[in-house]
């Protein structure tokens, strides 16, 4: 799994993962040629330099002259400029001068000065996309210093790769302190499904603003988690759980029997939707204090009432868990959802579990599972970076 924790250099996030590519290449360049050569290739991109760069490897089965191309991109955060370097397996030590440019309104435009058949040419790349699962790169040459352009290569990227037998691509847009995203991370981990991850920007003062462009494009609710599994884009942690169970049934995270399954869904919903409002009252403990003392006092009073509500829920779950290892038959999505709610309650200095030994033992049991332990450790690290000490 790879990830980035900051908003820098996110312009190319859409490209991370594996792609099927439809190539259209002009047969001859700057020769008034109208014949296009079409063929299918693949591309796989990943991040480098902690988000300040990325690399992609392209298998380009150009008829009669197949080769591999590699793009290395690095970002200058001060100048907000990407430099793009291209390497070609047919002459790996040669290196075109880098292209330079940036994204504006979702379209990336990059220019460079190259030599084509001994003549200087201005080169332009344009990156655009019309869906989370489709994007386009096009290259044009200008022999008259940018007055007129001839497009000579178009690469249409799409993610429906599995039908072609090309590599799987799974990407999660998550948040460092997003409990719903962490639910999905735990489920992916339980099912041993590898994924790439992008952490969307988050601060205690501004929350999820500014929103990550990929999340805006994928989810009309503009929320994380967003999961992109090949050509399927999904949002909402519960819906993602259901899809993961259908597509990757083993190990199961839901009981099989319909009533047990329904009960499990109800417990997940109870954690997600019934425990959430009091938890939100506690979340205000880590956001900046309200400058109005009266409003701040009301906030604190609300948090105290929320603590009492959460204690009542603890008592109910203590009863549900009596004599059981997990909430349902075997470890399930309900355990993941309740674990996250209690973890957030505890990190926000809500009621402790001391008075509820059965719930405390269950919480330790779930917390010892590798996926839950990893999520808990990452949330603690995110708190050290993003939240005031409580």
Which residues would be at the binding site for ligand GSH (CB under 6 A)? 175, 178-180, 208, 222-225, 236-238, 272
- Half-sphere exposure of residue 80, counting CA atoms within 13 Å on the CB side? 8
Rounded CA-CA distance 92/83 in Å is 19
**Residues 140, 150 contacting (CB under 8 angstroms):** yes
Question: Which residue, 21 or 337, has its beta carbon nearer to ligand GSH?
Answer: 337
Question: Which residue, 51 or 225, has its beta carbon nearer to ligand GSH?
Answer: 225
Cβ burial 107-118 (10 Å sphere, 16+ → b, else e): ebebebeeeeee
Question: Which residue, 75 or 180, has its beta carbon nearer to ligand GSH?
Answer: 180
Quote the least distance from Cβ 290 to ligand GSH, whole Å.
Answer: 20
**Residues 86, 94 contacting (CB under 8 angstroms):** no
Using alpha carbons, select from 30, 86, 97, 89 the residue that is nearest to residue 62.
89
- Residue 68: which residues within 8 A CB-CB, separation 6 or more? 57, 58, 59, 60, 88, 89
- Residue 208: which residues within 8 A CB-CB, separation 6 or more? 175, 200, 201, 202, 222, 223, 224
**Residues 60, 23 contacting (CB under 8 angstroms):** yes
Using alpha carbons, select from 352, 347, 375, 340 the residue that is nearest to residue 282.
347
Question: Which residue, 56 or 272, has its beta carbon nearer to ligand GSH?
Answer: 272
Residue with the closest Cβ to ligand GSH?
223
Quote the least distance from Cβ 221 to ligand GSH, whole Å.
Answer: 7
Question: Which residue, 39 or 243, has its beta carbon nearer to ligand GSH?
Answer: 243
Quote the least distance from Cβ 289 to ligand GSH, whole Å.
Answer: 21
Question: Which residue, 135 or 336, has its beta carbon nearer to ligand GSH?
Answer: 336
Quote the least distance from Cβ 223 to ligand GSH, whole Å.
Answer: 3
Quote the least distance from Cβ 201 to ligand GSH, whole Å.
Answer: 11
Question: Which residue, 74 or 238, has its beta carbon nearer to ligand GSH?
Answer: 238
Q: Give DSSP secondary structure letters for 298-343.
A: HHHHHHHHHHHHHHHHHHHHHHHHTT-SSSBSBS-HHHHHHHHHHH
Quote the least distance from Cβ 120 to ligand GSH, whole Å.
Answer: 49
Quote the least distance from Cβ 5 to ligand GSH, whole Å.
Answer: 15
């Amino acid at each position: 799994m790879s990830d980035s924790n900051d908003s820098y250099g996110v312009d190319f996030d859409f490209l991370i993962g594996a792609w099927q590519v439809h190539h259209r290449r002009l047969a001859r360049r700057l020769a008034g040629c109208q014949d296009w050569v079409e063929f299918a290739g693949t591309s796989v991109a990943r991040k480098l330099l902690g988000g300040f760069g990325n690399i992609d490897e392209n298998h380009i089965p150009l008829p009669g002259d197949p080769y591999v191309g590699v793009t290395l991109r690095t970002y200058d955060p001060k100048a907000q400029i990407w430099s793009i370097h291209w390497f070609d397996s047919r002459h790996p030590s040669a290196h075109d001068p880098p292209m330079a440019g940036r994204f504006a309104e979702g379209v990336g435009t990059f220019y460079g000065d190259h030599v084509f058949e001994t003549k200087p040419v201005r080169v332009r790349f344009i990156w655009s996309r019309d869906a989370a699962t489709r994007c386009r790169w096009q290259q044009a040459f200008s022999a008259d210093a940018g007055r007129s352009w001839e497009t000579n290569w178009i690469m249409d990227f799409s993610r429906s790769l599995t039908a072609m037998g090309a590599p799987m691509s799974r990407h999660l847009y998550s948040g460092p302190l997003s409990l719903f995203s962490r639910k999905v991370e735990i489920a992916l981990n339980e099912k041993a499904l590898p994924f790439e991850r992008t952490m969307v920007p988050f601060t205690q003062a501004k929350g999820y603003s500014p929103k990550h462009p990929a999340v805006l494009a994928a989810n009309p609710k503009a929320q994380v988690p967003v999961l992109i599994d090949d050509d399927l884009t999904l949002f909402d942690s519960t819906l993602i759980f259901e899809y993961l169970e259908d597509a990757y049934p083993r190990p199961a995270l839901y009981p099989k029997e319909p009533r047990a399954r329904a009960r499990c869904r109800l417990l997940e919903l109870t954690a997600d939707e019934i425990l959430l409002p009091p938890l939100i009252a506690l979340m205000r403990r880590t956001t900046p204090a309200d400058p109005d003392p009266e409003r701040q006092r009301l906030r604190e009073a609300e948090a105290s009432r929320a603590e009492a509500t959460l204690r009542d829920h603890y008592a109910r779950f203590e009863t549900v868990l009596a004599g059981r290892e997990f909430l349902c038959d075997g470890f399930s999505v309900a355990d993941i959802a309740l674990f996250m709610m209690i973890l957030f309650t505890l990190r926000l200095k809500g009621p402790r579990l001391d008075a509820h030994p059965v719930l405390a033992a269950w919480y330790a049991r779930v917390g010892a599972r590798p996926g839950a332990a990893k999520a808990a450790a990452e949330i603690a690290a995110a708190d050290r970076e993003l939240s005031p000490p409580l």
